[in-house]
């Protein structure tokens, strides 16, 4: 890997490598393509293997950007960028960082969903690790390879609940690859320190199983004890191999996501981005919205459509924020209305999950509600009777925020805060443009995926992308920089407040809730500092002063530039 090549730090003055010729050009972490200078080509045996023109990184970025923009659709652009990443990582990240707003929807949501669905068809070169159930006993040996010595961050999925698209099996690898691209592009982690992993325990997707091109293990999805033993083998091997690793869980199904997080969150530095990252970005954006609506957290009434791990995780963090704003826990709980597939969570409802229990409403609290349909309390009933000031969607149900529901909300609330967070775009609960029309322009909107500007007060304004990319790169960066032993609830709240602190609306209520995507690298730095300082406060890292913490974070932030090469042993 690149960090083994002799330059000590990610931003060292030179690269020393023993590789040459095609061996060098075929390593995406070392390849500079036409960027190799004439002296480098001589010493590294590259003459004749490259065209004679020597290009700067700026020129290469311009060439790739032109080719990117000429492609016919977003999927073609996704495949193009994945190919570039597997060929020349410095060039890939230089293009990503310099054009983040344009590239983010391709590298990540919404296009990454299509990338997962078509992963087998577009598979060209392995990246990361495919750990399959038949090879459970080989996990420790696989991880022990020297190629992985420098790994500091792992994103892992089992592919069962990819965005709102369901079970994609081994195709779910597109998510860890995309997430770690943002860890580098937004958080600055050196790509050599990141490792995407898919735990291939089979799939229940009949399209995958019947596809002759499917690259995964052709077996129905393994569950129960065998599944848990496989996860345990993986986590044990990871913790033994890398004592200070950051392990991020991604796109596990509802029944597994929260219980695996609870099982392992005290054994190593780990968090679930769907549960906790979504909670942090939602909480940070809502804290920013307070500057716009003037309604303090303790007075908010929050309805959440989708009471799985993400919805309950958002509610748990917002509950903490309400308590910090003066409410008792009992008072705060009564201000949450979580709606799942069977309607509003109420006491006595069968099959409630443990993480849902804190947010059930007492039967007597809803006894006198006027309902559309006897026996089931739907979202419309909640909006008309509870009159929520905040509506959050993590249901994956397109169009679930209907015109009737939104108009009813807007009739009772002066500045309704509405976050349709489900992605990809095809799964969003409502489009921002519809929300603005249905609320006469009064809604404060944040969406999980990118949308075009909306008309507001006679002018078009940017839609806030309330996406986890605002927070997870900074959470991971901060934890890695100070080698935090775990990710605490306090660190997550610190990340949410750091996001709120960089809100443009903090100084101007007419401004956006979030900075533009182009500033994600600066946002990640601020979030990382807050997370690292909170880790120190809670005794989850070695004692460090604030200046050392800041420097440790900066030292981890790699910049994609070409450095001179030397031939080494």
Cβ density class 295-315: b for 16+ within 10 Å, e for less? bebeebbbbbbbbbbbbbbbb
Q: Give the total residue count for the chain.
A: 569
CA angle 194, 447, 294 (to 5 degrees): 115
Across 279-287, average pLDDT: 97
Cβ neighbours around 398 below 10 Å, total: 16
Q: Same CATH topology for 56-121+128-264 and 278-467?
A: yes
Tokens of 309: 């791990």
At residue 96, what are phi and psi to the nearest 5 degrees? Answer: -65, -50
SS3 404: helix
Number of C-alpha atoms within 13 angstroms, CB side, residue 388? 24
Quickly tell me which residue has 């401004």 as its tokens. 511
Amino acid 7: pLDDT: 36
Which percentage of the chain shows pLDDT scores above 90? 93
At 28-70, the pLDDT tens digits run 999 999 999 999 999 999 999 999 999 999 999 999 999 999 9
Residues 217 and 136: their CA atoms lie apart, in Å, by 13
Amino acid 4: pLDDT: 42
Residue 12 pLDDT class (50, 70, 90 cuts): low
Quickly tell me which residue has 């800041």 as its tokens. 550
List alpha helices for 325-451, DSSP H. 329-333, 379-386, 403-412, 432-438
Question: Could you please report the per-residue DSSP string of 133-178?
Answer: GGGGGGHHHHHTSGGGTT--EEEEE-SSS-TTS---GGGGGHHHHH
- Topology of domain 56-121+128-264, CATH: Rossmann fold (3.40.50)
The residue extents of the domains of the chain are 56-121+128-264, 278-467, 474-556
Amino acid 538: pLDDT: 98
Cβ neighbours around 520 below 10 Å, total: 27
Q: Is 137 annotated as a binding residue?
A: no
Amino acid 569: pLDDT: 67
Residues 267 and 144: their CA atoms lie apart, in Å, by 20
Mean pLDDT, rounded, of the chain: 95
Tokens of 378: 């739907």
Across 296-309, average pLDDT: 96
Amino acid 11: pLDDT: 56
Model confidence at 562: pLDDT above 70: yes
CA separation, residue 493 to residues 60, 252, 497, 499, 541 (Å): 41, 23, 6, 10, 17
Cβ neighbours around 51 below 10 Å, total: 9
Assess contact for 209 and 139: CB atoms under 8 A. Answer: no
Residues 144 and 136: their CA atoms lie apart, in Å, by 14
Across 136-152, average pLDDT: 97
Across 239-257, average pLDDT: 96
Residue 452 pLDDT class (50, 70, 90 cuts): very high
Across 333-346, average pLDDT: 96
Which CATH number is correct for 278-467, 3.40.50.2000, 3.40.1350.10, 3.20.20.70, 3.40.50.720? 3.40.50.720
SS3 content of the chain, % helix, strand, coil (to 5): 50, 10, 40
Count the helices and strands in the chain (H runs, E runs): 23, 16
Number of C-alpha atoms within 13 angstroms, CB side, residue 306? 28
Across 385-394, average pLDDT: 98
Residue 13 pLDDT class (50, 70, 90 cuts): confident
- Residues 6+ positions from 435 with CB-CB distance below 8 Å: 401, 406, 418, 420, 443, 445
Model confidence at 5: pLDDT above 70: no
Q: Give the start-end residues of each E strand in 425-546.
A: 444-447, 454-456, 459-461, 464-465
Cite the active site residues: 108, 179
Number of C-alpha atoms within 13 angstroms, CB side, residue 40? 25
- Residues 6+ positions from 150 with CB-CB distance below 8 Å: 1, 3, 4, 190, 192, 193
What pTM was estimated for this model as a whole? 0.95
Question: Could you tell me which of 298, 301, 319, 456 has the C-alpha nearest to residue 391?
Answer: 301
Residues 398 and 420: their CA atoms lie apart, in Å, by 10
Q: Is 250 annotated as a binding residue?
A: yes
At residue 116, what are phi and psi to the nearest 5 degrees? Answer: -70, -40
Q: Is 211 annotated as a binding residue?
A: no
Model confidence at 547: pLDDT above 80: yes
Model confidence at 541: pLDDT above 50: yes
CA angle 206, 208, 214 (to 5 degrees): 155
Q: Is 251 annotated as a binding residue?
A: yes
Cβ density class 149-159: b for 16+ within 10 Å, e for less? ebbbbbbbbbb
CA angle 186, 192, 193 (to 5 degrees): 70
Residues 309 and 354: their CA atoms lie apart, in Å, by 10
């Amino acid at each position: 890997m690149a960090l083994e090549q002799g330059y000590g730090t990610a931003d060292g003055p030179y690269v020393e490598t023993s590789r040459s010729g095609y061996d060098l050009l075929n390593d995406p972490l070392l390849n500079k393509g036409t960027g190799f200078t004439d002296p480098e080509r001589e010493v590294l045996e590259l003459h004749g293997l490259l065209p004679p023109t020597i290009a700067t990184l700026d020129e290469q970025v311009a060439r790739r950007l032109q080719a990117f923009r000429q492609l016919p659709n977003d999927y073609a652009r996704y495949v193009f960028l994945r190919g570039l990443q597997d060929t020349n990582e410095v060039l890939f990240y230089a293009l990503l960082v310099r054009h983040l707003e344009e590239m983010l929807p391709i590298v990540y949501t919404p296009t990454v969903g299509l990338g997962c669905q078509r992963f087998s068809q577009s598979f060209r070169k392995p990246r990361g690790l495919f750990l399959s159930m038949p090879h459970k006993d080989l996990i420790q040996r696989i991880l022990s390879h020297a190629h992985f010595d420098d790994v500091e961050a792992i994103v892992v999925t089992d592919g069962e609940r990819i965005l709102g698209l369901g079970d994609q099996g081994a195709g779910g690898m597109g998510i860890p690859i995309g997430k770690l691209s943002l860890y580098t592009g937004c958080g600055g982690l050196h790509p050599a320190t990141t490792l995407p992993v898919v735990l291939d325990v089979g799939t229940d997707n009949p399209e995958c199983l019947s596809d002759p091109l499917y690259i995964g293990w052709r077996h129905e999805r393994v569950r129960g004890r065998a599944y848990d033993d496989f996860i345990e083998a993986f986590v044990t091997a990871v913790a033994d191999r890398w004592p200070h690793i950051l392990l991020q869980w991604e796109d596990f199904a509802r029944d597994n996501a929260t219980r695996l997080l609870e099982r392992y969150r005290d054994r190593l530095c780990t968090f679930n981005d769907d549960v906790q990252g979504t909670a942090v970005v939602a909480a940070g954006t809502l804290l920013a919205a307070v500057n716009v609506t003037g309604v303090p957290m303790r007075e908010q009434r929050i309805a959440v459509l989708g009471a799985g791990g993400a919805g309950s995780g958002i509610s748990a963090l917002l509950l903490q924020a309400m308590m910090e704003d003066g409410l008792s826990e009992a008072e705060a709980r009564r201000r949450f209305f979580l709606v799942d597939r069977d309607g509003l969570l109420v006491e006595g409802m069968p099959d409630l999950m443990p993480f849902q229990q804190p947010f059930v409403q007492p039967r007597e609290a809803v006894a006198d509600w006027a309902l559309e349909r006897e026996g089931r309390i739907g979202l419309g009933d909640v909006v008309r009777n509870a009159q929520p000031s905040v509506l959050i969607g993590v249901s994956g149900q397109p169009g679930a925020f209907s015109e009737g529901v939104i108009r009813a909300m807007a009739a009772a609330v002066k500045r309704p805060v509405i976050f349709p967070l489900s992605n990809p775009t095809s799964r969003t609960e409502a489009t921002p443009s519809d929300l603005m029309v249905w609320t006469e322009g009064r809604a404060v909107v944040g969406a999980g995926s990118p949308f075009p500007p909306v008309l507001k007060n006679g002018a078009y304004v940017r839609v806030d992308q309330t996406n986890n990319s605002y927070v997870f790169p900074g959470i991971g960066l901060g934890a890695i920089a100070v080698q935090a032993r775990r990710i605490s609830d306090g660190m997550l709240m610190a990340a949410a407040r750091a996001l709120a602190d960089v809100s443009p609306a903090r100084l101007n209520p007419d401004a956006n809730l979030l900075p533009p995507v182009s500033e994600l690298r600066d946002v990640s730095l601020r979030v990382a500092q807050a997370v690292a300082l909170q880790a120190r406060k809670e005794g989850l890292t070695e004692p460090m002063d604030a200046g050392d913490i800041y420097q440790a974070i900066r030292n981890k932030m790699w910049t994609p530039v070409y450095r001179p090469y030397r031939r080494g042993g």
